[in-house]
Chains A and B, each alone.
Chain A
Amino acid sequence: MAGTQIKTLWKMTWVETKLFLREPMAAFFTLAFPLMVLFLFGGIYGNEPNEMFGGRGTVDMLVPAYMGMIIGTVGLMFVTINMATYREKGILRRFKTTPLRPVIILLDTVLVNFAMTLVGTGLLIVAAILAFDLRFDGHVFPFLLAFILASLSFFSLGFVIASLAPTSRVSQVIGMVLFYPMLFLSGASIPLQIMPGSIQKIADFLPLTYVVKLLQGAWFGEPAGEHLFEILILTGLLVVCTVISALTFRWE
């Protein structure tokens, strides 16, 4: 029984991955757009050691921040749109008539979106290494944990929006309204260090700020103890959003 469910999960994940890549918007924003901004800002600032970033280069700072950008895009736009349109169009209803368990659909959505986040991040890292001599001072395992926590917390936020919004259009708008200010004010695209103090105060209220801080910390090899607050915030977000979306999950 469990075996067939797992086989179905892989099949669904594979089909959904192809569907993700056939969506030009999704493929562009997760795979191509981060590379474009990398080459744009990397081209302007280079990756020379910089006093402001504690002796690190601008690209060293930007790459983990851009990972936050990818996680935010996938979580708030693609997870949300995907779940909301599947519900609205009756695709979930169609699955409901089969012996498919709902948990498989949820797992498959998480897996596909995480895989795409990972691929976008991988491309970004490889490009930054080749073009800008990107430096990684952290440890792979703790960094991966931080990356997974950040991704899951934002995906769960996406599920909540999809569950609470009355239509897929509304969920799309909510996702964008949350995402765009965060993109610019959380350090995910422009380093907070160059922002005025008032913006930095706003940033404290944006969950994406904690993603960026945690990923940068893990990338630079700072001990987890220095980032307990970020870990706490993101874990809290994940738990609260998972509970809400479990309680409000609807097939239609």
Chain B
Amino acid sequence: MSSANTIVIAVQDLAKSYGKVVAVDGISFEVHEGEIFGMVGPNGAGKTTTIECIEGLRNPDQGGIRVLGMEPKHSKYRLQKRIGVQLQESALPDRIKVWEAMDLFASIYSLSADWHPLLEKLGLAEKIKATYSKLSGGQKQRLFIALALINDPEVVFLDELTTGLDPHARRAIWDLVLGIRDQGKTVVLTTHFMEEAERLCNRVAIVDQGRIVALDTPENLIRSLGPEFRVTFRVTGPFEQNAFKKIQGVSRIEQKDDRVTIHGKGDRLLSGVVNTLEKGGVGFRDLRTEHPTLEDVFLILTGKKIRD
């Protein structure tokens, strides 16, 4: 990032409980200007509570928050003029039309700028007279992005942006988010799709049970697992492990029914496995290599699979 790491959000030791349920248990992090900062974790990890404290929607029990130099608790309205928010759970009145919603929100921010180009950019120009309840899931989400961007905010918060969307709509939304960053805005998003975090985020905080268990770029998080990758294939007959253990770089071999997974590292691993299969006359199919993903990082750090 060229913008020299100006800090736009600083969260220090944030904590928030609902009754006896601890939602956020001492979270600290900083968000730099112009980056896409992601919080990933399962439902109930405390992502939404954290983001809503930053937006000024909730008051934390403890901890300090500064956003664009302001404290959300004390400067709620001043802050909300300069940020844009897409909530995880929200809606518009069923019978409101797209243009009416845009017009109303423009008036809330007392804007004079024309919002039509924004709708066009988000692919909603043809839906301008459509009623909210008649929009598809992806269109509703794009409208919420439009409303979050209508005041030309410096920081945009996107909470579970693509939950409930089909893969096609999800990819379209990803391009939009990258476009928001390219305009120089800072984006804070939460997701429980690891692929989404990997694709979009400059830095990712992995959140579990109200704490940040790791925070780094997706590449570094994955690299922290080491250079290991795996080769997997299905065998069509009996399989004898011994010959494969001798291949350079192999660390361990797993077999479950006909599915064999060979873990290891190095450039020679894949060719070694294929050669050994050919030499030994082992029948196989579905051979592929798998590189570690954020999913694996999450699994190793928290000991559980993230649920979709």
- Is this pair of chains taken from one and the same complex? yes
Select from chain A the residue with minimum beta-carbon distance to B57: A96
Would you give 16 A-B contacts (Cβ < 8 Å), ordered by A? A7-B110, A8-B110, A15-B96, A15-B103, A19-B93, A19-B95, A90-B89, A91-B91, A91-B92, A93-B89, A94-B87, A97-B85, A97-B87, A98-B105, A99-B81, A101-B77
Query: A99 contacts B87, CB within 8 Å?
Result: no
User: What is A's interface to B at a CB cutoff of 8 Å?
Assistant: 4, 7-8, 11-12, 15, 18-19, 22-23, 86, 89-91, 93-101
Chain A residues, Cβ within 8 Å of B147: 94
Query: B87 contacts A100, CB within 8 Å?
Result: no
Using A4-B110, A7-B107 as known contacts, say yes or no to A18 and B100 having CB atoms under 8 A apart.
yes
Query: B90 contacts A94, CB within 8 Å?
Result: yes
Chain B residues, Cβ within 8 Å of A100: 108
Chain A residues, Cβ within 8 Å of B78: 99
B33, CB-defined interface residue at 8 Å: no
User: What is B's interface to A at a CB cutoff of 8 Å?
Assistant: 55, 57, 77-78, 80-81, 85, 87, 89-93, 95-96, 100, 103-105, 107-110, 147
Main secondary structure of the interface of A (DSSP, over half): helix
Chain A residues, Cβ within 8 Å of B93: 19, 86, 91
Using A11-B103, A23-B95, A91-B91 as known contacts, say yes or no to A98 and B57 having CB atoms under 8 A apart.
no
Select from chain B the residue with minimum beta-carbon distance to A91: B91
- Bound Cα distance A91, B93 (Å): 7
Smallest beta-carbon distance B183→chain A, Å: 20
> Residue among A15, A94, A97, A100 with the most chain B CB within 10 A?
A97
Query: A97 contacts B80, CB within 8 Å?
Result: yes
Select from chain B the residue with minimum beta-carbon distance to A100: B108
Chain A residues, Cβ within 8 Å of B57: 93, 96-97
Chain B residues, Cβ within 8 Å of A96: 57
Query: A99 contacts B103, CB within 8 Å?
Result: no
Select from chain A the residue with minimum beta-carbon distance to B89: A90
Chain A residues, Cβ within 8 Å of B96: 15, 19
Query: B95 contacts A15, CB within 8 Å?
Result: no
- Bound Cα distance A101, B87 (Å): 18
Chain A residues, Cβ within 8 Å of B104: 11-12, 15
Select from chain B the residue with minimum beta-carbon distance to A12: B104
Select from chain B the residue with minimum beta-carbon distance to A251: B57
